[in-house]
Amino acid sequence: MQIVSASVLPLVLKAAVELGVLDIIEKSGAGTLTTDDHDNHVHMVYALAPVATYFLPNREGGSLAPLLELIQHKTMLNMWHHLKDAVLEGGLPFEKAFGMNAVEYVGKDAKFCEIFKGSTRDFNPLFMQRILEIYKGFDGLKFLVDVGGGDGSLLNLIISKYPAIIKAINYDLAPVIETFPPYPGIEHVVGGYIHAHSRSRSHFHEVDAPQLG
């Protein structure tokens, strides 16, 4: 049964985030929000479980709420209904659903573009702070290129910790780059993977989530 209804939990959570339910409980203070059902003699006490705090929209240190909004967005869910056809016929589920790839779609739908931008900006600090504590590979670098860096927020976190990096370039596709204002010290350049690899020796990039590729 858990598997059968697995899509329900994130969609209910999304509604709770949108309704501000988590915010209300958090602002009330742990255990102070209560309800009484006198007929059934039930006294309910509400508090956020530790995992719920990740879904507070303006959480310091990053939030999963905007990524939840993106992954559970109607546009993204529609894509999964085309997975079977993509397996049988070839091609990508997103392109089957919308007749264009996800990057083109982001460039055409301003509202969805805002949701996409917010999702990476708030998600990245959740793991990048920890990576920067552990990973020492950026030591001694002067130039850094992020390939497929989206809004450049990861590069921004890195150069904030490594001021010795004097030039940072974020390569991404035109419809994405054009929607993001640059961070200070980061140059947005329209270009694909091959372009960036041919110009830099100090680059990093992540593998696209399959649904966004």
Ligand X SMILES: C[S@@+](CC[C@H](N)C(=O)[O-])C[C@H]1O[C@@H](n2cnc3c(N)ncnc32)[C@H](O)[C@@H]1O
Per rule CB under 6 A, is residue 105 in the interface with ligand X? Answer: no
| Residue 124 Cα to chain centre, angstroms | 7
| Residues 212 and 150: beta-carbon distance below 8 Å | no
Q: Quick one: 63 or 120, whose CB is closer to ligand X?
A: 120
Per rule CB under 6 A, is residue 208 in the interface with ligand X? Answer: yes
In the complex, the smallest distance separating the C-beta of residue 21 from ligand X, rounded to whole angstroms, is 28
Q: Footprint of ligand X on residues 17-76 (CB under 6 A)?
A: none
In the complex, the smallest distance separating the C-beta of residue 148 from ligand X, rounded to whole angstroms, is 3
Per rule CB under 6 A, is residue 132 in the interface with ligand X? Answer: no
Per rule CB under 6 A, is residue 207 in the interface with ligand X? Answer: no
Closest CA to 144 of 96, 184, 211, 200: 200
Q: Which of 22, 25, 154, 186 binds ligand X (CB under 6 A)?
A: 154
Q: Which of 149, 165, 169, 180 binds ligand X (CB under 6 A)?
A: 149
In order of 12, 23, 63, 64, the CA distances from 69 in angstroms are: 11, 16, 11, 9
In order of 38, 45, 95, 103, 109, the CA distances from 89 in angstroms are: 59, 52, 12, 22, 27
Q: Quick one: 56 or 147, whose CB is closer to ligand X?
A: 147
Q: Which of 148, 158, 159, 186 binds ligand X (CB under 6 A)?
A: 148
H or E element that contains 125: helix 110-134
Burial of residue 22 (number of CB atoms within 10 Å: 0-12, 13-18, 19+): buried
Closest CA to 77 of 8, 4, 180: 8
In the complex, the smallest distance separating the C-beta of residue 197 from ligand X, rounded to whole angstroms, is 10
Per rule CB under 6 A, is residue 153 in the interface with ligand X? Answer: yes
Name the β-bridge partners of 145: 169, 203
- Compute how many residues bind ligand X; rule: CB under 6 A: 19
In the complex, the smallest distance separating the C-beta of residue 97 from ligand X, rounded to whole angstroms, is 18
Stretch binding ligand X (CB under 6 A), from 18-26, 67-75, 134-142, 147-155: 147-155
| Residues 112 and 66: beta-carbon distance below 8 Å | no
Residues that bind ligand X (CB under 6 A): 103, 120, 124, 147-150, 153-154, 171-173, 176, 192-193, 206, 208-209, 212
